[in-house]
Amino acid sequence: MQIVDAAIWIKYNMLVHLPLIIVDESLFYIGYWGRHLKSNQYRALKPHQKVNHYPGAFHIGRKDRLWMHIEKQQRRFGENVYGIMPKTYLLPKDYEHMRNYLAASPSNHVIVKPPASARGTGISVTRKIKDIPDKTQLIAQHYLDRPLTINGAKFDLRLYAYVPSLEPLRIYIYEEGLVRFASVPWVSFLAYIVFLDSNFSLFIYWKFSFKVKGQIMVIAEYSACLVGQKDTL
């Protein structure tokens, strides 16, 4: 079994306690856990071999590709059926549309993200067009300023699905899941909205306290600790 790239120590420690041998990529027999394989490697797979990426998975794994497919379904079936994501701009292609949205009202903000990153990397919230590069591949989404909360904190739900077959389509959903909470209560100060995200990775190392300076909430002090919260559904 092959394991590559970052954040692998959990998988590695799990495997070393099983009767499996970790081998070179070209020698894997049972399973491969890593980047997408090349087309010829997919074609060479045997029935007993398992991989963690199926061909074309990036169409739902990348934020920009996912929006392209959702927007296509909205045009076909209506936004009332596929209104499952905030309006999204694919930059730089939709830069002028985003500019017009931000100029329409001082309360309009967008959350800007890299199209293929995770764990909160590179995310920012702004309404200033000058803060957003006009030649960089990004996505910008309408920012939801009235999120659902539990006990005053933003949250998200993570459910796990197993897809053993695409044709015919077969999906199994695990009965248990995770609910993840932001580490501080929700307030309307957009100046520090990144710290109200429910992405657990953002809260592993730093704890922040804030004070109001004029109309902006700024960092007063910070310390290292584990502050994000997770729980079962």
Contacts of 74 (CB under 8 A, 6+ apart): 81, 82, 83
The answer to whether residue 72 is domain-embedded is no
Same domain, yes or no: 172 and 198:
yes
The answer to whether residue 69 is domain-embedded is no
Full domain range(s) for residue 40? 2-55
Same domain, yes or no: 129 and 199:
no
Percentage of the residues of the chain whose pLDDT score is greater than 90:
30
Q: What is the pLDDT of residues 186-202, one digit of tens each?
A: 765 454 444 444 455 54
The answer to whether residue 67 is domain-embedded is no
Higher pLDDT, 194 or 175: 175
Minimal CA–CA distance to 90: which of 52, 43, 141, 139? 139
Q: What does the DSSP 8-state code read for residue 184?
A: S
Same domain, yes or no: 160 and 121:
no
Measure the CA angle with vertex 159, ends 149 and 72; round to 5°: 90
Same domain, yes or no: 157 and 140:
no
Same domain, yes or no: 6 and 32:
yes
Percentage of the residues of the chain whose pLDDT score is greater than 70:
69
Q: Write down the pTM of the prediction.
A: 0.69
Same domain, yes or no: 161 and 219:
yes
CB 202 within 8 A of CB 195: yes
The answer to whether residue 64 is domain-embedded is no
In the listed set 145, 175, 195, which residue is the last one of a domain according to the structure?
Answer: 145
Higher pLDDT, 12 or 129: 129
The answer to whether residue 92 is domain-embedded is yes
Q: What is the pLDDT of residues 160-170, one digit of tens each?
A: 888 888 889 99
Domain count of the chain?
3
Cα 17 to Cα 202: distance, rounded to the nearest angstrom: 30
In the listed set 116, 145, 174, which residue is the last one of a domain according to the structure?
Answer: 145
- Whether the pLDDT of residue 150 is over 50: the answer is yes
Same domain, yes or no: 208 and 167:
yes
Within 58-211, where are the H helices? 58-61, 63-77, 79-82, 95-104
